[in-house]
Amino acid sequence: METITTPAGIELAFDRYVGGDAGTVILIGGAFGERKFPKMVALAEQLADTYRLTVVNYDRRGRGDSTDTPGDYDVENEIDDIAALVEAVGGSASLFGWSSGAGLALLAAARVPGVRRVVAFEPPFVVDHENFVPAADLEVRLHELIAAGRRAETVKFYMTEAMGMPRYVTAIMRFTPMWKNLLATAPSTAHDWAVMGPYMRGTALDPAEWSSVTAPTLVISGEKSDALLRTGAAAIAAALPNATHRVVPKLSHNPNVELLAPVAGEFLTGTTNSVHPDREADR
């Protein structure tokens, strides 16, 4: 584990995977995610080993070994964290974001100098009322639960009211090994909402708001993911000035890294492997 202290005094913990000379990519996890999440580790290893990338897999503030500012939930804080990481790795890096981390990657790309490329895996933009739309006052209740230290209720509330999961799913999760990790990261969901809340209102995205995201961007969605995620991915790709949307067969929001890593790795490095998990779908 390595750490840096940001200008704001936040200590960010990260693991660095040195793969070669193909550049650096910073991995940005989503809600309840942390750098030790097995699929983030597997993705980091594959991007380093196969695509010669140096991968920085970090804990967003309030997760894992990174510190936080309880009660201060502003997306600009997390953008500043990413800027500090980019500077720490030499002033130039690409970004890979998953779910709300993908939304954060796109927002950071508009403001942080030195962002070369962006891969956004299923950012949860809610752009119509065809599926689930979170309540307008969700933030108030979320902050109340976090301030009261009611972590189990925070997990259930965020999963059902912000992410649209059925209640029976959260009931089952209480009896799984992952429950303790969900409880540990529950307070950080306020940061996820600060990132995505303004873009989950069921309204169309405004291309003018995203016009400064000029870095080449690949938006990925999975064929097996919910329609809401596929619709949101297509919408943000259309709103960005320099983006492509790719639907990967057999992929879901809980991804098979063997399917996700080649798509991301090829885009980040501008290469093409002879063996590709969805090459047939490209023809």
Question: 194-233 pLDDT, tens per residue?
Answer: 999 999 999 999 999 999 999 999 999 999 999 999 999 9
Domain ranges (residues) in the chain: 2-125+203-282, 138-195
CA distances from 106 to 75, 95, 226, 243 (A): 12, 9, 21, 11
* Structure tokens that stand for 209 in this block: 């708001």
As a whole number, the mean pLDDT across the chain is: 94
- pLDDT beyond 60 at 279: no
CA distances from 105 to 153, 202, 226 (A): 28, 21, 21
Helices and strands counted in the chain (H then E) = 11, 8
Q: How many CA atoms lie within 13 A of 263 on its CB side?
A: 29
* Structure tokens that stand for 158 in this block: 């965020």
CATH superfamily ID and name for 2-125+203-282: Alpha/Beta hydrolase fold, catalytic domain (3.40.50.1820)
What average pLDDT does range 261-282 have in this prediction?
68
Question: How far, in whole angstroms, is CA 33 from its chain's centroid?
Answer: 9
Between CA 138 and CA 203 the distance in angstroms is 17
- Is the distance from CB of 98 to CB of 105 less than 8 angstroms? no
Angle in degrees, 0-180, between the axes of helices 100-109 and 189-196, rounded to the nearest 10: 60
pLDDT confidence tier of residue 280, bands split at 50, 70 and 90: very low
| E strand or H helix that includes residue 94 | strand 93-98
In this structure, what DSSP letter does residue 116 have?
E
pLDDT confidence tier of residue 272, bands split at 50, 70 and 90: low
Q: How many residues does the chain have?
A: 283
pLDDT confidence tier of residue 283, bands split at 50, 70 and 90: very low
Kindly calculate the radius of gyration of the chain based on its CA atoms and give it in whole angstroms: 18
Between CA 247 and CA 223 the distance in angstroms is 6
Q: Which of 35-49, 167-181, 247-261 has the lowest mean pLDDT?
A: 167-181
pLDDT confidence tier of residue 96, bands split at 50, 70 and 90: very high
Question: Which amino acid type is present at position 122?
Answer: E
Q: 10 Å Cβ neighbour count for 67? A: 16
- pLDDT beyond 70 at 278: no
pLDDT confidence tier of residue 276, bands split at 50, 70 and 90: very low
Q: 10 Å Cβ neighbour count for 275? A: 6
pLDDT in the model for residue 170 = 87
pLDDT confidence tier of residue 275, bands split at 50, 70 and 90: very low
Beta bridge partners of 147: none
Q: 238 or 278, which is more confident? A: 238
pTM passes above 0.75? yes
